[in-house]
Amino acid sequence: MIIQPKVRGFICTTAHPVGCARQVQEQIDFVKSKPRISQGAKKVLVIGASTGYGLASRVVEAFGSGAATMGVFWERPAEDKRTATAGWYNSVAFDQAARKEGLYSQSFNGDAFSDEMKIAVAKKIKKDLVDVDLVIYSLASPRRQHPRTGQIYKSVLRPKDYPYTNKSIDFEAGKVTEVTLPAATAQEIEHTVAVMGGEDWEMWMDALMEHGALAHKAYTAAYSYIGPEVTTAVYRNGTIGAAKDHLEKTAKKLNEKLQQKGGGALVSVNKALVTQSSSAIPFIPLYFVLLKKVMKSKGIEENCIQQIYRLFAERLYANKPIPLDEEGRVRVDDLEMRPDVQREVQALWEKVNTDNVKQLADVQGYEEDFLHLFGFGFPDVDYHADVEIDLPLP
Ligand code: NAD
């Protein structure tokens, strides 16, 4: 089949298997070009492993530390003339590349929020690896069915206390518009915390402990975000921020449990990056394009794989105590949050409008990053070639 991108709002409904393999290989090549992380974990479970920060974590651990990896994700395989999702093709490419290198790689496609998935993964760990010494929790989902009550929770991206109005970018129309989001209801806050907070992370760690699938001195990490003033109302002080507060509290709870076995739990605050989940957050894409312009001009722009390599090589496994902020979090958003970067982004934010957005912001860079997520826009991939879309996970 010949596959072209079909973009609908903040999602692309097609994905290119060769382009996805190409971007996974780019991540692998990047990691291989860097010094090896010899202290890194050797048996790793990544929950949310098919795209974004989770995929990058799996690539860094496998190709930077030679780790055996298990990955959990929920992606759709190809069906008739419908391509699989990008995360499916990424995972096929990852599994093939890891196995070619002689690395153990096992993927599970299904609902990570379910008890069944947790038990299946714990049993497979016991059988194949005995235990894991690192668990990365990198899920981003709009909904969760609670495994015990069956209740379905849907997350919303809204401010918590008051309606909020600010600038936003509409990429399809090429316009900077003003958008108002209503304040979330108490139930919407509760639902968002149930989906994106720490309860499921804790359930995973409990299930792994119960099955004896966690190594002595095992660590676990989840990812959070803080961000600047202009996104605070909708992000950190919004519904998603309430979920991140819960995730960070859960890290402290898990840390106490794991410290008893010589390990620990932590949250890493990562940089704002274009991923399938983050493009859906109102106001954030306009911030992305301004931030990208400023960070590029200073030569400090990073993508997912560069962020996660730095997290593992310079923070988690640097052979020295892990540097933490006053809340006990690891920070790799340090370059994004540099005062000079934020000052410039804020000044641009005040000036930006439909007429000048292409000059003030890196709209083209954002569009390229967005297409790359789905395997499109790579100059060395032949998008006129007829390609097989039905690729099985090994
Ligand atoms: P993403 O959309 O790229 O990846 C989400 C992953 O979760 C995918 O592997 C997907 O298959 C998996 N998933 C979703 N629902 C699932 C389910 N029910 N069962 C199994 N797997 C499921 O997201 P991302 O942006 O990489 O986000 C990962 C984490 O990083 C999130 O906690 C996010 O808040 C955090 N973070 C993101 C940013 C950013 O700017 N992108 C910044 C800082 C922190």
Helices H / strands E in the chain, number of each:
13, 13
* Centroid of ligand 1 to alpha carbon of 304 (angstroms): 12
Residue pair 70/98 in contact (Cβ under 8 Å)? The answer is: no
Helix (H) or strand (E) holding 143: strand 143-145
Closest atom of ligand 1 to 277 CA is: 2
* Centroid of ligand 1 to alpha carbon of 193 (angstroms): 15
Look at the pTM and tell me if it is higher than 0.95.
yes
Q: Which of 23, 46, 53, 246 to mutate to test the pocket of ligand 1 (most atoms within 8 A of CB)?
A: 53
Residue pair 264/253 in contact (Cβ under 8 Å)? The answer is: no
Decide if domain 7-143+153-159+187-280+300-334 falls under CATH 3.40.50.620.
Answer: no
* Alpha carbon distance 171, 363 (integer Å): 8
Task: Answer yes or no: is the C-beta of 275 below 6 A from any ligand 1 atom.
Answer: yes
| Residue pLDDT tens, the chain, 394 long | 999 999 887 789 999 999 999 999 999 999 999 999 999 999 999 999 999 999 999 999 999 999 999 999 999 999 999 999 999 999 999 999 999 999 999 999 999 999 999 999 999 999 999 999 999 999 999 999 999 999 999 999 999 989 999 999 888 788 999 999 999 999 999 999 999 999 999 999 999 999 999 999 999 999 999 999 888 988 899 999 999 999 999 999 999 999 999 999 999 999 999 877 777 777 888 999 999 999 999 999 999 999 999 999 999 999 999 999 999 999 999 999 999 999 999 999 999 999 999 999 999 999 999 999 999 999 999 999 999 999 999 7
* Alpha carbon distance 168, 176 (integer Å): 6
Q: What are the helix (H) ranges across 260-375?
A: 284-297, 304-310, 339-351, 357-360, 363-373
- Domain parsing of the chain, residue ranges: 7-143+153-159+187-280+300-334
Task: Answer yes or no: is the C-beta of 57 below 6 A from any ligand 1 atom.
Answer: no
* Centroid of ligand 1 to alpha carbon of 350 (angstroms): 30
Q: Reduce the DSSP state of residue 371 to 3 states and report it.
A: helix
Task: Answer yes or no: is the C-beta of 226 below 6 A from any ligand 1 atom.
Answer: no
Q: Which of 12, 20, 269, 278 to mutate to test the pocket of ligand 1 (most atoms within 8 A of CB)?
A: 278
* Centroid of ligand 1 to alpha carbon of 125 (angstroms): 22
Catalytically annotated residues: 235
Closest atom of ligand 1 to 75 CA is: 11
Q: Which of 55, 138, 234, 370 to mutate to test the pocket of ligand 1 (most atoms within 8 A of CB)?
A: 138
Task: Answer yes or no: is the C-beta of 227 below 6 A from any ligand 1 atom.
Answer: no
Task: Answer yes or no: is the C-beta of 198 below 6 A from any ligand 1 atom.
Answer: no
Residue pair 323/348 in contact (Cβ under 8 Å)? The answer is: no
* Alpha carbon distance 46, 360 (integer Å): 37
Task: Answer yes or no: is the C-beta of 278 below 6 A from any ligand 1 atom.
Answer: yes
Task: Answer yes or no: is the C-beta of 90 below 6 A from any ligand 1 atom.
Answer: no
Task: Answer yes or no: is the C-beta of 85 below 6 A from any ligand 1 atom.
Answer: no
Indicate the pairing of strand 214-224 with strand 132-137: parallel
Residue pair 151/187 in contact (Cβ under 8 Å)? The answer is: no
